[in-house]
């Protein structure tokens, strides 16, 4: 999940460098393809990575599910 967040941020930074006048960023649709031998067992959103995650903070934490 952290690698996915890092990649999205780097793409945003790259876009801003190429388009310095831009006020917004284009949408990013992250897609993870797993082709390992074993079943995927990693969390599928950031909520699963942050413990404890108080209810009051849940609306502010990214999901990417």
Residue 30: predicted pLDDT: 83
Q: How far apart are CA 57 and CA 39, in angstroms?
A: 31
Structure tokens at 57: 């903070």
Annotated domain spans of the chain: 31-65
How much is the pLDDT for 49? Answer: 87
Residues of the chain with pLDDT under 70: none
* Location of structure tokens 């599910």: 65
Give 13-37 as a DSSP string.
HHHHHH-TT-SS------------S
H/E run at residue 8? helix 2-18
pTM for this one? 0.72
At residue 49's C-alpha, the angle toward residues 43 and 55, to 5°, is 115
What is the percentage of the chain residues whose pLDDT exceeds 70?
98
Predicted confidence (pLDDT) per residue in 49-63, tens digit: 888 999 999 999 888
């Amino acid at each position: 999940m952290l690698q996915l967040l890092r990649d999205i941020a780097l793409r945003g930074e790259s876009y801003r460098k190429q388009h310095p006048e831009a006020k917004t960023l284009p949408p990013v649709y992250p897609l993870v393809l797993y082709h390992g031998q074993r079943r995927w067992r990693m969390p599928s959103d950031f909520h699963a990575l942050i413990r404890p995650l108080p209810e009051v903070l849940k609306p502010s934490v990214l999901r990417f599910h």
